[in-house]
C-alpha cells in the first residue's frame, strides 16, 4: 500500500508539474533556462503579445466571432471535456463572444450545470448538449451522426477532454483507457467531422480550426517506448507514461493531419497546445494532504482555469494564428515540441496504424 501511495504521488508530480520538464533539455542551470523561468513566473508577453498570465477573456477580447447580419454566419464550436476545468472555461468564454457551442458529454447532469452557468452570464448563448463517451468508438460514431443530422456548420473543433488513469483499465473496445480516450476517441471524432469542417470553410470563406489539447509532458516520451501495440495493451503499465504517450500522439496527429490538409489545399488548420499547469478535474481521484500541500507550495507555478484556457482560445479564434498549422503552442505563443513530436515519419506511421485499428474495431471506413 505504501508503494502504491508513493506511485500516486510520484505520478502526480510527474504529470502536473511537468512544465518544469520542458526545460530538462538544459543539463545545467543556463542563462536560457533562467530566462525561461523568469518569463513564465512574471507572465512576460511573447511575440503574440500574450504570456503565461493572459486569460481566455483577454486573448479573445478583440476577436470578431459573431455576426448580427446573419445567424447562419455564427461560428460553431465543438468542445470535448467541457463539463469542467479548462474545457468549461473555454466554452464559457467562446459563448460569451457569440460562438455557438456544442458540448459532447458523458455526464449529462454536469453538462447541464455548465450550460446553465453559461446562460446565466450570457443569456443569448446558443448551447447544445449531446452525449458521448470518447473511449468508445460506437459512442463517438453516434455523437457524430447526431451532430451531423442537426445540419449545423462546424468551424472549430477543440479536442480538449483528457483522462489520467492510475490503474490499468480497458475501454469497451479492449483498449487501454487513457490512450482510448485522449487519442483514439479524438482521432475518430476528428475524422468523422473533418469533411463537415472543410465544407463549412469552403462555403463561408472562414478558416476552420482544430485544436488538440496536449501537454508539455510529451517531452518525457522516449522513442524506444513509443510502441503502438504497447499503448493499446501495455504489458507493464504506468499511468504517467500512458498519459504522456497519449499527449505525444495528439501532437503527431496534428502534425500529420496538417500535412494532409495543406496537400489538399483545405481551408482548415490543426494545431496542438499545452495549457500549462492547472488544477483541474483530471486529478480528482488523487486528492489528499500531499497533493494539496504540493499545490500550496507550488502556487506560483499554477495557472488559474482562465489562464489555462487562454492558449486554446488563442489558437482557436485569434486572427494572429490564421494560416498557422501543424504547430505547437504554449502560453499563447508558438514554441518547440520534442524531436519525436516533430518526426514526420513517426506521425505518418502512427496515422496509418490508427486508421487500420479504427477500420478493424469500429467498422468505420476512414476516407
CA atoms in the 13 A half-sphere facing the CB of 117: 14
What are the φ and ψ backbone dihedral angles of 363, each rounded to 5 degrees?
A: 55, 30
Q: How confident is the model at residue 3, as a pLDDT?
A: 38
pLDDT tier at 2 (50, 70, 90 boundaries)? very low
Listed in sequence order, the residues at least 6 apart from 91 whose beta carbon sits closer than 8 Å to its beta carbon are 79, 82, 101, 103, 114, 118, 127
List the alpha helices (DSSP H) in the chain. 2-16, 31-42, 56-60, 85-96, 108-121, 137-149, 177-179, 185-204, 228-232, 239-263, 289-297, 305-317, 344-362
Helix, strand or coil, per DSSP, at residue 27: coil
| Candidates 3, 170, 183, 237; catalytic one | 237
237 is catalytic: yes
Question: Is it the case that residue 107 has pLDDT exceeding 50?
Answer: yes
Q: What are the chain's domains? A: 45-362 (3.40.50.720)
223 Rama sector, left if φ>0, alpha if ψ -120 to 50, beta otherwise: alpha
Q: Give pLDDT tens digits for 201-240.
A: 999 999 999 999 999 999 999 999 899 999 999 999 999 9
Maximum pairwise Cα distance, the chain = 63
Q: Give pLDDT tens digits for 248-304.
A: 999 999 999 999 999 999 999 999 999 988 865 554 445 554 455 555 555 556 889
Strands 127-131 and 268-274 come out as unpaired
Amino acid at each position: 500500500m505504501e508503494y502504491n501511495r508513493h506511485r500516486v504521488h510520484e505520478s502526480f508530480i510527474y504529470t502536473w508539474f511537468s512544465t518544469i520538464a520542458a526545460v530538462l533539455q538544459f543539463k545545467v542551470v543556463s542563462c536560457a533556462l533562467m530566462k525561461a523561468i523568469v518569463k513564465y513566473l512574471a507572465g512576460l508577453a511573447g511575440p503574440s503579445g500574450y504570456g503565461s498570465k493572459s486569460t481566455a477573456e483577454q486573448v479573445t477580447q478583440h476577436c470578431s466571432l459573431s455576426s448580427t447580419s446573419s445567424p447562419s454566419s455564427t461560428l460553431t464550436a465543438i468542445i470535448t471535456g467541457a463539463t469542467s476545468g479548462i474545457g468549461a472555461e473555454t466554452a464559457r468564454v467562446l459563448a460569451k463572444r457569440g460562438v455557438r457551442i456544442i458540448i459532447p458529454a458523458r455526464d449529462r447532469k454536469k453538462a447541464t450545470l455548465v450550460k446553465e452557468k453559461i446562460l446565466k452570464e450570457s443569456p443569448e448563448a446558443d448551447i447544445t448538449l449531446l452525449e458521448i463517451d470518447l473511449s468508445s468508438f460506437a459512442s463517438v460514431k453516434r455523437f457524430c451522426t447526431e451532430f451531423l443530422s442537426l445540419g449545423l456548420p462546424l468551424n472549430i473543433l477543440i479536442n480538449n477532454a483528457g483522462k489520467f488513469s492510475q490503474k490499468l483499465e480497458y475501454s469497451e473496445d479492449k483498449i487501454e483507457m487513457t490512450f482510448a480516450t485522449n487519442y483514439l476517441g479524438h482521432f475518430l471524432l476528428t475524422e468523422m467531422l473533418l469533411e463537415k469542417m472543410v465544407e463549412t470553410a469552403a462555403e463561408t470563406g472562414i478558416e476552420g480550426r482544430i485544436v488538440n489539447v496536449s501537454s508539455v509532458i510529451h517531452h518525457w516520451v522516449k522513442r524506444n517506448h513509443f510502441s503502438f501495440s504497447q499503448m493499446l495493451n501495455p504489458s507493464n503499465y504506468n499511468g504517467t507514461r500512458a498519459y504522456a504517450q497519449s499527449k505525444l500522439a495528439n501532437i503527431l496527429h496534428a502534425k500529420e493531419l496538417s500535412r494532409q490538409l495543406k496537400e489538399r489545399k483545405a481551408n482548415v488548420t490543426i494545431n496542438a497546445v499545452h495549457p500549462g499547469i492547472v488544477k483541474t478535474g483530471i486529478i480528482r481521484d488523487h486528492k489528499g494532504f500531499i497533493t494539496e500541500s504540493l499545490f500550496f507550495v507550488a502556487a506560483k507555478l499554477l495557472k488559474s482555469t482562465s489562464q489555462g484556457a487562454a492558449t486554446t482560445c488563442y489558437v482557436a479564434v485569434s486572427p494572429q494564428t490564421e494560416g498557422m498549422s501543424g504547430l505547437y503552442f504554449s502560453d499563447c505563443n508558438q514554441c518547440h515540441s520534442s524531436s519525436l513530436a516533430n518526426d514526420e515519419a513517426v506521425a505518418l506511421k502512427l496515422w496509418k496504424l490508427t486508421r487500420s485499428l479504427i477500420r478493424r474495431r469500429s467498422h468505420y471506413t476512414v476516407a
